[in-house]
Amino acid sequence: MNLYAIKAIYLFELARTWRTLLQSIATPVISTSLYFVVFGSAIGASMTQVHGVSYGAFIIPGLIMLALLTESISNASFGIYMPKYSGSIYEILSAPVSYLEILIGYVGAAATKSVILGIIILLTARLFVDFEIQHPLWMAAFLVLTALTFSLFGFIIGVWADGWEKLQIVPALIVTPLTFLGGAFYSISMLPPAWQTVTLFNPVVYLISAFRWSFYGVSDVNVGVSLAMVLGFLALCIALVGWIFRTGYRLKS
Instruction: Render pLDDT for 8-60 as a digit per residue (tens, 0 to 9).
Output: 889 988 887 777 766 777 788 888 888 877 776 666 666 777 888 888 889 89
Distance between CA atoms of residues 94 and 49, nearest Å: 58
pLDDT at 92: 82
pLDDT at 149: 94
Distance between CA atoms of residues 27 and 21, nearest Å: 9
Amino acid identity at 201: F
Distance between CA atoms of residues 253 and 247, nearest Å: 11
Instruction: Identify the DSSP state of 200.
Output: T
Q: Any residues with CB less than 8 A from the CB of 93 and at least 6 apart, and which? A: 251, 252
pLDDT tens digit string along 66-103?
A: 889 988 998 899 989 988 888 888 888 788 888 889 89
H-type alpha helices, 164-217 = 164-170, 176-180, 193-199, 203-216
CB 75 within 8 A of CB 32: no
pLDDT at 21: 67
Instruction: Identify the DSSP state of 50.
Output: B
Residue-wise over 134-165: b if at least 16 C-beta within 10 A, else e?
eeeebbeebbebbbbbbbbbbbbbbbbbeeee
205 against 89, higher pLDDT: 205
pLDDT at 155: 94
3-state DSSP of 230-250: HHHHHHHHHHHHHHHHHHCCC
Distance between CA atoms of residues 47 and 198, nearest Å: 25
pLDDT tens digit string along 140-196?
A: 999 999 999 999 999 999 999 888 888 888 888 888 888 888 888 888 988 898 988
pLDDT tens digit string along 126-144?
A: 888 888 899 999 999 999 9
pLDDT at 52: 83
Mean pLDDT to the nearest integer, 244-249: 85
pLDDT at 211: 95
pLDDT at 205: 93
Residue 219 clears pLDDT 70, i.e. is over it? yes
